[in-house]
């Protein structure tokens, strides 16, 4: 009802009561709770984000090759010895084919050289054998002559000078026969040496030829196999791409060799020590697992891209110290659920870090 004054029609408003500010109080409590959630746990824990890492095993060709076929994909599980790709290189194949043809020509020349050199050595040995036989007959003839002269000399029929001359001729003939025999024996030995050397040369040429032919066949189409069992990661190559020698086509992540690489702010490293127990929460595992600090890297580094969420985490604003954490107590089934570069959250109780037994040898 509108009230009117006795002087006019000006309305009179009754005094209203202000409501209690429940919304502001609830908002203030929410802000306080959020601040408590963010900062109070950090007073008791040192926390960091990280990634599941591992010593990756590369799958790569030994020569420059073209990828003809990829038989597995990223995140596929492979077993040791499984064929994962087929590669080839026609340029390398042509080079090995050229080496094969050259080695075949050298092999043919080596066989001809063997026949010629052995034939020449045999002819020379036969000639020296004839000289040795002639020298032997001449020495025998002079020996018989010397015997007759010696008998005549003993009977006084000839003077000593003639006897001495025949004796000298016989000794000279004997020396010539011995020299001829040595020359003939050396010639026979030369036949064996020449044959052995040429046969070794032929064997080397044959081995080179076989190797070149085998490599030509190999590079025309070679299957690459997985050196270990694990999960395929880092798939950057595509069919028909050309990769350089030892450039990985795949990398294989072995869950049995997995570890965690966590990135701590440098000012929190006073609370992180070697052999310290760490609570690790890994994406893909339903519960927290224990870990152990095995090394603290000395150099500062930027945060990996997949862990960078806020602007102050970029390298121009902040850098981090990597800490390697071993996962010693994972079961076989839990390890099979690990995947490479899975995000990880780690936490360390501050009150445990002050214990002297937790101090590592570097602190």
Cα–Cα dist 302/316, whole Å: 9
Residue 328, pLDDT > 50, answer yes
- Please give the share of the chain, as a percent, with pLDDT higher than 90: 20
Cα–Cα dist 236/286, whole Å: 31
Cα–Cα dist 177/132, whole Å: 6
What is the pLDDT averaged over residues 216-236?
81
Comparing CA positions, the residue from 149, 130, 143, 133 lying closest to residue 174 is: 143
What is the pLDDT averaged over residues 273-297?
91
The predicted structure's pLDDT at residue 296 = 92
The CA–CA distances, whole Å, from 82 to 59, 64, 223, 226 equal: 11, 22, 10, 5
The predicted structure's pLDDT at residue 308 = 78
- Which helix (H) or strand (E) covers residue 151, if one does? helix 90-155
Residue 352, pLDDT > 70, answer no
Q: What is the CA radius of gyration of the chain?
A: 48
Whether this model's pTM surpasses 0.95: no
Extract the tokens encoding 140: 């025998």
Instruction: Look at 62 and 224; give whichever has higher pLDDT.
Output: 224
Task: Please answer whether residues 185 and 164 qualify as being in contact, where contact means their C-beta atoms are separated by less than 8 angstroms.
Answer: no
Extract the tokens encoding 217: 């066949």
What is the pLDDT averaged over residues 149-166?
83
- Mind giving me the DSSP string for 169-194? HHHHHHHHHHHHHHHHHHHHHHHHHH
Cα–Cα dist 222/86, whole Å: 6
């Amino acid at each position: 009802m509108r009230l009117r004054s006795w002087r006019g029609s000006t309305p009179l408003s009754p005094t209203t009561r202000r409501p209690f500010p429940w919304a502001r109080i609830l908002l203030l409590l929410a802000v306080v709770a959020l601040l408590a959630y963010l900062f109070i746990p950090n007073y008791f824990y040192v926390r960091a984000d990280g990634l599941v890492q591992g010593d990756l095993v590369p799958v790569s060709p030994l020569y420059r090759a073209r990828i003809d076929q990829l038989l597995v994909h990223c995140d596929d599980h492979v077993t040791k010895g499984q064929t994962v790709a087929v590669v080839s290189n026609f340029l390398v194949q042509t080079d090995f084919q050229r080496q094969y043809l050259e080695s075949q020509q050298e092999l043919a020349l080596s066989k001809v050289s063997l026949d010629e050199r052995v034939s020449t050595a045999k002819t020379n040995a036969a000639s020296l054998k004839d000289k040795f036989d002639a020298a032997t007959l001449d020495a025998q003839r002079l020996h018989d002559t010397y015997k007759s002269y010696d008998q005549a000399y003993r009977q006084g029929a000839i003077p000593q000078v003639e006897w001495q001359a025949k004796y000298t001729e016989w000794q000279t003939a004997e020396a010539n026969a011995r020299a001829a025999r040595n020359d003939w024996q050396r010639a026979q030995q030369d036949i064996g040496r020449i044959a052995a050397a040429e046969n070794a040369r032929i064997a080397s040429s044959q081995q080179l030829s076989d190797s070149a032919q085998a490599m030509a066949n190999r590079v025309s189409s070679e299957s690459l196999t997985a050196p270990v069992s694990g999960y395929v990661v880092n798939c950057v190559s595509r069919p028909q791409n050309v990769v350089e020698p030892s450039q990985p086509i795949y990398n294989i992540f072995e869950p049995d060799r997995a570890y965690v690489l966590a990135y701590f702010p440098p000012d929190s490293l006073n609370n992180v020590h070697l052999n310290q127990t760490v609570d690790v929460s890994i994406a893909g595992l339903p519960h927290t697992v224990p870990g152990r600090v095995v090394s603290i890297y000395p150099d500062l580094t930027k945060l990996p891209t997949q862990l960078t969420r806020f602007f102050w985490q970029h390298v121009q604003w902040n850098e981090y110290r990597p800490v390697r954490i071993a996962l010693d107590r994972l079961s076989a089934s839990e390890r099979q659920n690990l995947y490479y570069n899975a995000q990880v959250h780690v936490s360390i109780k501050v009150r445990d870090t002050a214990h002297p037994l937790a101090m590592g040898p570097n602190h």
